[in-house]
Chain A
């Protein structure tokens, strides 16, 4: 037991919700870390994982109090220390890497000044020593211009680089314990893996212990020795990573695993693109985007789309994949009429759609619906669900009050929500429920096509999985077509019949899902594919060579 670096016993944390009312948010959590090992805290939002990791530094956010239990670091009982004594080990023995480095770096100070602050104020190194140490860490983390990058201000470097610089800041005093709080979540998928690799190498080389906080099981599997699964502040399962991933003992863990962002084991069974029905005898695609070029600013000054052409079919899904800045959202906006195009046209059932909403007929508007990414900002917070769902019914179908009520019940039933939800406000619903309402609103119009813009990205994995399932069922029943926009290849692979891979406003590869996912790949598709982790612990180590080649090819 001597080599246990950190021991957390029956930790309890509570939040002050109202005056004099304490609500527990972490309940009796215990785990320990041996020197050189990595423990992952995994759970969905609200599971208390960040709160626990902060409590290991003896810190509770304003509004929270550590109400019980103990944290033992080496031989120190952290929670028994006073305010001033806790400061002594922070930054030196234990250090912290926050989720968003861009928000956590002080914009007014240069990077190196912040990186070397801890050793300087604690008199552990001279300024020169600290500077040398910082530069060597920058080298190790594969940062460009390691000699010069520290002289810049945080806004002058990219997000991925900042995240690594924050790791350098955390490692400057060679801490015994490193706390990584969702350190790659805010990054683009392809950057995420590089940063993850850098972190893993750093932890391994320095033989540092770490707590890795994440919601993403596949990412956690790459770095953790032990995994602690949390739900609503309670421990669900705790054990070695291999065991949790391969032989989970709890249902919740199994759910998490099946919802993880990994490529599906087998290729989805291809469906014929054309559904033969009476109305659809000519077998033409429902929607054709034909050579659309569009951009922002006056006269499309800043182009976001360069002659993009895709097709959507009745009862089928086209997946649009790309990273931020790829133009995938712009494509969705052009189809919906929110944005005009400079060249090219969008045709629905062979008839060209007007460039703006104002010039589209009500029937055309009804046929193409848009489901937004963030349900919490896509639903008017001051409208009841009844109004949110009822308005399209009145607007498109001129329904009477009675018919509207009846139809709302039906639609709520379609998205598997009880009918009394009609009286609620959006804020009284959970994230997943809100997303269902968001989807239900597009369904009220009985559209031919729904543009789904990252509708699962902001959701926890299990909830997202349920929404995807709902989407599939609705498609079977209603024969609605989806344009499914996402940055996550694993999600797209699960739902799409055809895939368009976008990069910098152009389509780099376009074909059926099977074609896209079967080698040979386009070099950028290869990079994307190699950015989706497998749910096994040694994936990250095997991927390195494959990615290096893909990256060089994609950059060229």
Chain B
């Protein structure tokens, strides 16, 4: 099977002709984030768990080293560890977990979704009903129940959230493939005598690649937000590991110190991890939005 290279290239050329400043900035931001995450040990000024000072904001008064801008650029956390360094490592955890989740969810969701669309009939009906049933759970509740009984290790988190996400990917992939499969050119390939492999790989896939890429972006941001929310609740990534969501939770007291010392800089300790998340998710979403608009593609309606 050959990958439809020529088709991809033309799509790419189409896209490059419609670049906007916003998209370029977003792409640059993402590129920087990827570099930082890849080379975290080189970039982080201190170690992930290195306790630098005893006078964390939790213990010391307003003159402590923990205050952002004093000695540490973004300040120190509740144990006196460098926020900047922990941000770099935290982002590494958050992004790699989210990436693992979305890749797994996509592998599962698109494969099963395409199969359901290709086979149709009873198998499709059964699969769709199962997914309907799974989707009638609020996803956070599934996660909480699983975490209650299995504990929150990385494996459990990734598989659970990927499964939740896969149900959405399944729906989107199935709907996208369905729209294509009813087209006459698929019928034309079938009359020629083409097998399922050619039909799905060469006829259907090139037509859904754009929307699927967009959906991947959306799923990726969703995974980041979901895993961060779980960690923020203390039910996601567990210490001594840390991700951006957990950093917010750990340092939420900094807000009270900011209030008590009347020094807004303390708020930065707990806001900066959240801002990191937002930077990535906003960038991805803006790119997805632009991508959908400039390719004229649309995703099936879904939240």
Binding site for B on A (CB under 8 A): 336-338, 357, 360, 362, 365, 369-370, 372-374, 377-384, 387, 391-392, 395-396, 425, 441, 445
Q: Closest residue to A444 on the B side, CB-wise?
A: B192
In the complex, whether B119 has a CB less than 8 A from a CB of chain A is: no
CB distance from A170 to the nearest CB of B (A): 35
Contact check, A338 vs B193: say whether CB atoms are below 8 A apart: no
Give the residues in chain A near B10, CB-CB below 8 Å. Answer: 425
Give the residues in chain B near A395, CB-CB below 8 Å. Answer: 192-194
Contact check, A382 vs B187: say whether CB atoms are below 8 A apart: no
Of residues 204 to 224 in B, which have CB atoms within 8 Å of A's CB atoms? 206-207
CB distance from A360 to the nearest CB of B (A): 7
Q: Closest residue to A362 on the B side, CB-wise?
A: B193
**Could you say which of A370, A379, A380 contacts B191, with CB atoms under 8 Å apart?**
A370
Please report the C-alpha to C-alpha distance between residue A443 and residue B203 in the assembled complex, in whole angstroms: 20
CB distance from A340 to the nearest CB of B (A): 14
CB distance from B185 to the nearest CB of A (A): 4
Q: Closest residue to A379 on the B side, CB-wise?
A: B185
CB distance from A446 to the nearest CB of B (A): 13
Contact check, A378 vs B184: say whether CB atoms are below 8 A apart: yes
Binding site for A on B (CB under 8 A): 4, 6-7, 10, 183-185, 187-188, 190-194, 203, 206-207
Contact check, A380 vs B6: say whether CB atoms are below 8 A apart: no
Contact check, A377 vs B191: say whether CB atoms are below 8 A apart: no
CB distance from B7 to the nearest CB of A (A): 5
Give the residues in chain B near A362, CB-CB below 8 Å. Answer: 193
Q: Closest residue to B207 on the A side, CB-wise?
A: A382
Contact check, A365 vs B192: say whether CB atoms are below 8 A apart: yes
Given A338-B187, A372-B184: A380 touches B203 (CB 8 Å cut-off): yes
Central interface residue in A369, A382, A391, by most chain B CB within 10 Å = A382
Give the residues in chain A near B7, CB-CB below 8 Å. Answer: 382-383
Central interface residue in A370, A380, A387, by most chain B CB within 10 Å = A380
Contact check, A338 vs B184: say whether CB atoms are below 8 A apart: no
Question: Top 5 A-B pairs ranked by shortest CB distance?
Answer: A382-B206, A378-B184, A365-B193, A380-B185, A372-B184
Given A380-B203, A381-B207, A382-B4: A372 touches B188 (CB 8 Å cut-off): yes
**Could you say which of B4, B183, B206 contacts A377, with CB atoms under 8 Å apart?**
B183
Give the residues in chain A near B185, CB-CB below 8 Å. Answer: 377-380
Q: Closest residue to B203 on the A side, CB-wise?
A: A380
Please report the C-alpha to C-alpha distance between residue A347 and residue B84 in the assembled complex, in whole angstroms: 78
Please report the C-alpha to C-alpha distance between residue A369 and residue B187 in the assembled complex, in whole angstroms: 12
Contact check, B191 vs A337: say whether CB atoms are below 8 A apart: yes
Q: Closest residue to B190 on the A side, CB-wise?
A: A357
Contact check, A392 vs B192: say whether CB atoms are below 8 A apart: yes
- Please give 17 more A-B residue pairs, beta carbons under 8 A apart, in addition to A357-B193, A377-B183: A337-B191, A338-B191, A357-B190, A365-B192, A370-B188, A372-B188, A377-B185, A378-B187, A380-B185, A380-B207, A382-B7, A382-B207, A387-B6, A391-B192, A395-B193, A395-B194, A396-B192
Please report the C-alpha to C-alpha distance between residue A551 and residue B193 in the assembled complex, in whole angstroms: 44
CB distance from B225 to the nearest CB of A (A): 32
CB distance from B17 to the nearest CB of A (A): 12
Give the residues in chain A near B191, CB-CB below 8 Å. Answer: 336-338, 357, 365, 369-370
